[in-house]
Amino acid sequence: MALRTRSLDELRGHTIGFFEDDGLAPVTAETRAAVQAGAAALREARFRVEPAAGHAGTAAQLWWKLLCSAEPCFMRRDSRQREAVEPIFKEFLEIADVLQH
């Protein structure tokens, strides 16, 4: 399928939603500032930009569901490998286990 090129005016007809955090993981002041700066830059470029805070939970759920559906990519079956994984990845695997069941 060929990629469809859209004009800026066509793209500006859509609303861009953003959120500064997903309510699950804290963000740094720098991250919050970067998101706000990005939203401001899009507004200055005449895009319609609105906070999507009410959808942050849904976005996070979709993210985890998509990421966790790639189960074969993760070391779930070999506990020796799992123990060698960095703590943040181990935490991810624990969350993935909960979401998968």
The pLDDT value recorded for residue 73 is 55
Crossing angle of helices 56-68 and 87-100, in 10° steps, is 100
Percent of all residues in the chain with a pLDDT value above 70, rounded to a whole number = 58
- d(C-alpha 94, C-alpha 87), whole Å: 11
Share the mean pLDDT of the chain: 77
Range among 1-5, 56-60, 74-78 with highest mean pLDDT value: 1-5
Q: Is the pLDDT of residue 32 over 90?
A: yes
Length of the chain: 101
Write a three-state SS string for 45-89: CCCEEEECHHHHHHHHHHHHHHHHCCHHHCCCCCHHHHHHCCHHH
pLDDT digits (tens, 9 = 90+) for 50-60: 988 766 667 66
